[in-house]
Structure formats: structure tokens, C-alpha cells
Amino acid sequence: MNTTAIITAVIVIALLGLILGLFLGFSAKAFHVETDPREEKITGTLPGNNCGGCGYPGCSGLAAAIVAGDAPVNGCPVGGEAVAKKVAEIMGVDAGESIRMVAFVRCAGDCEQAGRDYEYHGEQDCRMAMFLPGGGEKSCNFGCLGYGSCVSACPFDAIHVEKGIAVVDKEACKACGKCVEACPKKLIELIPYDAKYAVACASKDKGPDVMKKCKTGCVGCMLCKKNCPKEAVEIADFLAHIDQEKCEGCGACAEKCPKKVIVKL
């Protein structure tokens, strides 16, 4: 064994390592980008779920946007008011009013209420089922398919399929919006946690067609709108919708609804 060759190889490797280390150290200093120390503080204050519900790529992305002035201090839907106040303190501003939101599924057509055109036994995924005839086995083309794409998307285990439709646990929901994005039927919306009533239907079919397909679908009869003392109910495309900013929770709309599709939350 050539001892000299071994020693030479060791020295060469050591020199290469030293040169590479010096180069990396120089590059780190030369190309270092100064970041606002508030970013790190805000990132540490945020929940760390990295759910993307704020519209930014993770908590660090939101922190950078807040410091840059591109996002509000109460931009984290998961952290809510408590986190907003801490972030506002770091930024030296007022947190403002934070309204807690929750997801709501606009469908009450469960296995007992909604009709079905055929039986489907394929992959249990709503997005895949959209390619089936009629957009799924339900007679109502607007109804919840119940295959749980929203369940898989929820990082907080706040939504589950019960009797063929998705149901939200409002206490567990953080309003991250993942279920809203995942639903191919666009049935899920975010409403205030304190909302008292909502319309559990998304069908835009005319009344007679709705009644053929679902026992509890909205038929656009206008009774809810006519009996609301605060003009909080609007009818569009044969479908009722409640303006939660105007609604005071009197329940008159739910009482008059003949299909009982306006539900108390």
C-alpha cells in the first residue's frame, strides 16, 4: 500500500472541503437577504397548521405578507381573534374586529330525502363521481354526493358524512376553506359562527323539478322572503339565500318554509 498516495488523497480532500466551506460561507453572506425580525415572531405566533386557509403558502407566507402590508393582522382563520391580537401587538397596530366563521353545507338531501337515479359502487370520491351520468347518482344534480372529498381535505377533522351528506362540526371547524375548495358541487360556504339560520339547499331547478328529486329542496316559493321583517332573504335562480349581515335570527323564514329547508344552526 502506498502510504504517500493515501496521505496525499487525505490532504486533497481536506483542502477541497475547506475551499468549499469558505465558498459556501462567502455565498451565504454575499447573497443573504435581510428579513424583518417581525416575520419570525409572527410565524411563531401563528398556529403552524400551514393549511393555506389564509390564501398564502403556509404560516411563514402569511407572516411575510402581514409584515409587507399585503395581508391583515387578523388574516389567519385558524388562530381567530386571540392570534390576531398577538400579531397586532407585534405589528404595533389595532387588531380590528374578527368574526369567527364556520363552514356550512348547503344540502339537506340525505339518503331519506333525496332520490337516486342509480346505484354507484366505484371510487368514493366526489370529484371522480362528477364524471358519472348526471354528475352523480343523486337525482338532484346540485346535491351533496356524500363521497367525502371534503372530509379528506379537512385538516381539523371537522366534517363527516352522515346519512349520505356532509355535516360540519362547527366547534371543530376553523374556517380554513379547504372543504370549500374540495367540493366539486360548490355546496360549502363560510358563514358566521353566530349565524342562526341558513338555507340547506343549492338547487337552481324550478320548484316542480325540485319536488320530483328531493323532499326537502328549496322550491323558490318566496314565502321566506315575504315574511322576513329585515329583508334578509333573497331569491335568485329559484333558490333562497340569507344575507347573514341583515339576519337577526327571528326564525320567521324557517317557520314559513313549506319544505323546511331553512335550518336552525
Domains belonging to the chain, first-starting first, are 37-91 (1.10.15.40), 100-194 (3.30.70.20), 196-265 (3.30.70.20)
Query: What's the CA gap between 232 and 241, in Å, rounded?
Result: 8
Average pLDDT over residues 145-153: 95
Query: What's the CA gap between 43 and 54, in Å, rounded?
Result: 13
119 close to 137: Cβ distance less than 8 angstroms: yes
Residue 12 has pLDDT above 60, yes or no: yes
pTM above 0.75, yes or no: yes
Please state, in angstroms and as integers, the Cα–Cα distance from residue 112 to each residue in 79, 109, 163, 165, following that order.
Answer: 37, 7, 8, 11
In the numeric block, which cell numbers belong to residue 78? Answer: 385558524
pLDDT in tens, 161-177: 999 999 999 999 999 99
pLDDT in tens, 223-251: 999 999 999 999 999 999 999 999 999 99
* Helix, strand, coil abundance in the chain, percent, nearest 5: 35, 15, 50
